[in-house]
Structure 1
């Protein structure tokens, strides 16, 4: 029991430190040496828990994704209509981006990273599990005719595509994009793309 708790604490320390290293040093500074030095955890221990540095990065991606999806799920399941649910989903994503900038930055910067490809199957399974409540919510609304019946991946593109792009641009700081303005404009625009005719 004590050994298991120590192992969980080490995993948490490595993931927390990895996110901090990424936030402070960017992709170039996000290295196994930087994470082990900053955490004080040995390379052997990192490999024991994650198998590789890619495994650590994939676990960090899954953790950040899980935290985002928790926020999205919490926002959606409280709503009563399809319109208020979609609007809540959009606003929750943008709020998460502002309040958890480091996690959002890691998620968006990781989109084409090699560790996602190497661990694609486990990340896909985690995503599917973490999105289950939102998927069920959307399915119920489609069945009732409140949302245009589309395949799940297309709904995700319509909802998350514009929001993710707004977040990405805000995180890049090279665009003059105001997330508060996006939170006012995008919810209704996205809702119109899903509303039945």
Structure 2
């Protein structure tokens, strides 16, 4: 495997889930190298040549599988995004009632980041690059689908959520969790987001103007 393996978290398992099987082994190796290179050197420092040298693939392999550097970064970003969304859907499927649904959204967000810090760190770095690159519309479509699924669930419990504008719900629900997660990933706080999940879920619930006993 590449020099960046193994990661001290479950980030490589995401690549296995999103790109399974022996035929995708080279893709996973390239993506793992991109992940390690970006986390060491930052987005601007992660050149195709450095990624290629880390994974041992040829430049032709990289361009064949991903088109260009932007395509490679976008593919890795979408791997994380899809895996994060799958966990959210799993948590929501087990939720009953509005408050349980809010908790499911917060818990899935912070649990995923706590389990995959290397990939989460990459995603925070790469989000702007992907949103401004050739895959911008693909990202917009995936975000609409991801938020649409969560909002559809919330619409089923709209009576409990009051008159909060639906467009604000994603920001209100995960805003504090995202802020804390960024602080943890940067080393500004020591306790993982998972350990603070109850407090963050409570903050999300209260941000909607709903009482604790609702």
Which TM-score applies when normalising by structure 1?
A: 0.83
Cα deviation for residue 8 of structure 1 reads 3.5
Aligned to 1:174: 188
SS in 1 for 2:205: helix
Verify the 8 A CA contact 1:69 1:131 in the aligned structure 2: no
Once structures 1 and 2 are overlaid, which stretch shifts more, 123-132 or 77-86?
A: 123-132
SS in 1 for 2:127: coil
Verify the 8 A CA contact 2:92 2:101 in the aligned structure 1: yes
Please, which runs of 5 or more residues in structure 2 have no aligned partner?
1-20
Verify the 8 A CA contact 1:169 1:177 in the aligned structure 2: no
Verify the 8 A CA contact 1:97 1:104 in the aligned structure 2: yes
- 1:116 and 2:126 matched: no
Aligned to 1:47: 63
SS in 2 for 1:112: helix
- 1:184 and 2:195 matched: no
Distance 2:82 2:108 in 1: 14
CA, structure 1 residues 162+8, in 2 after alignment: closer, same or farther (shift >3 Å)? same
2:149 to 109, 127, 133: 133
Aligned to 2:175: 161
Which TM-score applies when normalising by structure 2?
A: 0.77
- 1:18 and 2:23 matched: no
Please, which runs of 5 or more residues in structure 1 have no aligned partner?
none
RMSD: 2.4
Query: Quick check: which one's helix share is greater?
Result: 1
Verify the 8 A CA contact 2:106 2:197 in the aligned structure 1: yes
Distance 1:63 1:110 in 2: 12
Verify the 8 A CA contact 2:107 2:194 in the aligned structure 1: no
